[in-house]
Amino acid sequence: MSESRRHMIAVLPGDGTGPEVINEGKKVLLAAGRKFNIDFEFTEFDFGGDRYLKTGETLPEGAIEQLKKFKAIYLGAIGHPDVAPGILELGILLSLRFELDQYINLRPVKLYPGVDCPLKNKKPEDIDFVVVRENTGDLYAGHGGTTRKGTQYEVATQVMVYDRQMVDRCLEYAFDLAVERKKEGKPGKLTLVHKTNVMTFVGDMWFRAFMEMSGKYPQIQTDYNHVDASCMWMVKNPEWYDVIVTANMFGDIITDLGAMIQGGMGIAAGGNINPYGTSMFEPIGGSAPKYTGMNIINPLAAIEAGRMMLKHLGEAEAANAIEEAVSSICTRVSSLSAGKMGYSTSEVGDMVSEYILSH
Ligand code: IPM
Ligand code: MN
């Protein structure tokens, strides 16, 4: 008998429906583990809104050091209706991304068969691309400030910050991903999305870096879209995309559009990747407080985040089994929306697990 592999995973269920969907995600990971001889050791952390309301702390002292011991974090959702907007986002989610230097936000946009797509006449073969969103710089970097606050002449700035190595490491990841996908039969095309017609400094740096690096990847076809145009093409011709690479803010915006064309927040997942350190996998949707505790939220996005985590941990076979199971369950639920699936949260988790174990 082959020896089993073991993965230590930090679990942050977080707020709202986070714990419910993470439960189903863990259930599915354990099922895949049973089938493919993988052991998991889950270590849970209670970071989130409830803890903040009790203690006043977002991430406690030493949390980052503790998390750095793990290769992967499995995150439910961060966001609490009783906490002012921004506190938990900055204090937990963005802090983790920055402190752990998770410089890639990987967001696949894939339409599974049977999923209701809001784009007329678009089929699964038309919607299968990945957005590589830079995840540490840009308008998120915290450069800026306010002067003359509260007066009629108040000035506020928020600066689009990039240095060349941040751009290069992100582009390199995206080119490498396009190469990997090409080996799997995908087109081998990388599109840079920016706004070089207006962002003549930072956009120009991205564009030059992109063109320079493309010389090292002759097998990859390159293209460039302005971000506004990319929103148009994602709706009109999503089949043109294979891998998109873009800056943090543009990536944030276009991946919500991406999530909708793949069937919505019920299925959209992402990975915050540090290829050399601790990465974090999460459903893209929020904590959905109004559905908390009702057993009606769709756990497929969290299950998909778990699949991405397995792939990142080198468990491609188990990850593929989850993908097949999710794809099949998508044809059985009546909708991907909370409360409209025709099954409860835990039933969907059971169905995915059973599919994995019986195929
Ligand atoms: C996302 C979210 C976050 C972001 C917010 C919650 C800070 O919108 O993960 O896309 O802007 O990155
Ligand atoms: Mn977002």
Q: In the sheet where 104-110 sits, what is the strand order?
A: 38-44, 5-14, 72-77, 279-283, 269-273, 104-110, 128-134, 243-246, 189-194, 221-226
Atom of ligand 1 nearest to the CA of 135: 12
Atom 5 (ligand 1): residue with closest C-alpha? 89
Atom 6 (ligand 1): residue with closest C-alpha? 89
Give residue-wise pLDDT tens across range 169-206: 999 999 999 999 999 999 999 999 999 999 999 999 99
DSSP-assigned states of every residue in 290-345: GGTTSS-S--HHHHHHHHHHHHHTT-HHHHHHHHHHHHHHHTTSS-SSTT-SSS-H
pLDDT score at 52: 97
Atom of ligand 1 nearest to the CA of 252: 10
Q: Do 245 and 192 contact (CB within 8 A), yes or no?
A: yes
Q: Which residues, 6 or more positions from 185, have their beta carbon under 8 angstroms from its beta carbon? A: none
Ligand 1 pocket check: which of 106, 252, 253, 280 to mutate, most ligand atoms within 8 Å of Cβ? 252
Cα(153) to centroid(ligand 1), Å: 30
pLDDT score at 1: 53
pLDDT score at 78: 96
pLDDT score at 25: 98
Ligand nearest to the CA of 249: 1
Atom of ligand 1 nearest to the CA of 78: 6
pLDDT score at 4: 83
Atom of ligand 1 nearest to the CA of 94: 7
Please state the pTM of the whole predicted model: 0.97
Q: Which residues line ligand 1 (CB under 6 A)?
A: 89, 93-94, 252
Cα 102 from Cα 201, distance rounded (Å): 24
| Residue ranges of the chain whose pLDDT lies below 70 | 1-2
pLDDT score at 3: 76
pLDDT score at 2: 63
